[in-house]
Amino acid sequence: MGSLLYLECTSGISGDMCAAALLDAGASEQAVRRALDSLAVEGFTVEIGRVAKSGLDVCDFAVVLDAAHENHDHDMAYLHGGEGEHGHTREHGHDHGHAHGHPHGHDRGHDHSRSHGHAVPHHHRGLADIEAIIDGGAMTDGAKALAKRIFGLVADAEARAHGLPREAVHFHEVGAVDSIADIVAIAVAVDDLAPDGVVVTDLPCGRGTVRCQHGLIPVPAPATVFIAEACGLPLTPVPVDGELVTPTGAAVVGALRTASALPERFAVRRVGMGAGKRAYDTPGILRAMLIEPLA
């Protein structure tokens, strides 16, 4: 066996954390930007830089939305059930982890998609809409297939959570511009790194509640739990208040994971660290390592 990708999810995993860690581990930023620039989606730019997390220098992947597409992430007290909503700040936590699907005709909020170069109002994006965006992007067939598999896992989980058929699920947060960018970036980065397998040992299960469009829901969010069930993902309870594993993060692991245990001996060939955006009682870092098993 050649190289393995080891995602060390001690602090959890979300879309932006994973994209950053993969880029820091050596995935082509040029390939990621080319794919994102080619998407038939308006209203965002991508910033890739360095930030300090727990005193460490780590990569930060941020999708910056314009005013028409902004998806505000309320301050931590409000997000996790505090009383105050006013004065919130944007945490850039794009993958809110509590996206919901709804039948056609249930219009709340809006965004825009581009069709043949023209902006078209689009109140919700269904899975078919998102798959069409992915299919039109400048990326390999392997990257397209992976991106669609990740979104498919989220769609199936949301369908189950809301008692809807898969085709009736229309996305809010997870189908928003920023999360499309996160997932496409991850798919292109993994395809570029081309590991022979992906190891994820377990996922930390936080506690408490998170606020979604319809009120407070328990952590982990229902979609995250359904993805964990469907993909057999191991969860380990940890004494941390907060959503450490988001639905997008769980779907990435479900789509990629080929092994749940590390080789007995291995050499580390590359290391990447991606920053989380929220302040929990964890380092807030996802570490991605390309490793080579040793005899």
Residue 109 covered by a domain: no
Measured in degrees and rounded to the nearest 5, phi and psi for residue 95 equal: -85, 85
Is there a domain that residue 101 lies in? no
Span 62-121, pLDDT tens digits: 999 887 666 555 444 444 455 443 333 333 344 543 344 443 333 323 333 333 333 334
112 domain residue, yes or no: no
Identify which of 104-118, 178-192, 203-217 has the greatest average pLDDT. 178-192
Tokens of 225: 């739990």
Its domain, for residue 22, covers: 4-73+123-293
Rounded to an integer, what distance in angstroms lies between the CA atom of residue 170 and that of residue 167? 8
> Rounded to the nearest 5°, which phi and psi values hold at 101?
-100, 150
pLDDT of residue 279: 79
Residue 99, in any domain of the structure: no
Q: How far is CA 264 from CA 2, 95, 151, 199, in A?
A: 15, 34, 33, 13
CA nearest to 244, candidates 214, 207, 213: 207
Length of the chain: 295
- Least confident piece of the model among 23-32, 95-104, 193-202: 95-104
| One-letter identity of residue 64 | V
Locus of tokens 């990708």: 5
Any domain includes 115? no
∠ CA 226-243-217, nearest 5°, is: 65
- Average pLDDT, rounded, for the chain: 83
In-domain check, residue 266: yes
Residue 1: its pLDDT value, please?
64
Crossing angle of helices 222-231 and 247-256, in 10° steps, is 10
When pLDDT is cut at 50, 70 and 90, the band that residue 216 belongs to is confident
Return all residues near 67 (Cβ < 8 A) that are at least 6 apart: none
In the chain the first and final C-alpha atoms are separated, in Å, by 11
Structure tokens at 179: 């999360």
pLDDT in tens, 42-69: 888 999 999 999 899 999 999 998 876 6
Question: Does some domain include residue 116?
Answer: no
Give the Å distances, CA to CA, from 127 to 58, 66, 130, 166, 271.
Answer: 33, 23, 5, 8, 33
The predicted pLDDT at position 85 comes to 39
Q: What is the per-residue pLDDT for 266?
A: 97
Domain count of the chain? 1
Helix H, strand E, coil C: the string for 70-124 is CCCCCCHHHHCCCCCCCCCCCCCCCCCCCCCCCCCCCCCCCEEEEECCEEEEECC
Q: Is residue 117 part of a domain?
A: no
Instruction: Sort strands 111-115 and 118-122 into parallel, antiparallel or unpaired.
Output: antiparallel
pLDDT digits (tens, 9 = 90+) for 114-168: 333 333 344 578 899 999 999 999 999 999 999 999 999 999 999 999 899 988 8
* Beta strands, E only, the chain: 4-8, 44-53, 56-65, 111-115, 118-122, 125-126, 170-171, 197-199, 203-207, 209-212, 215-218, 235-241, 266-275, 285-293
Residue 287 has pLDDT above 50, yes or no: yes
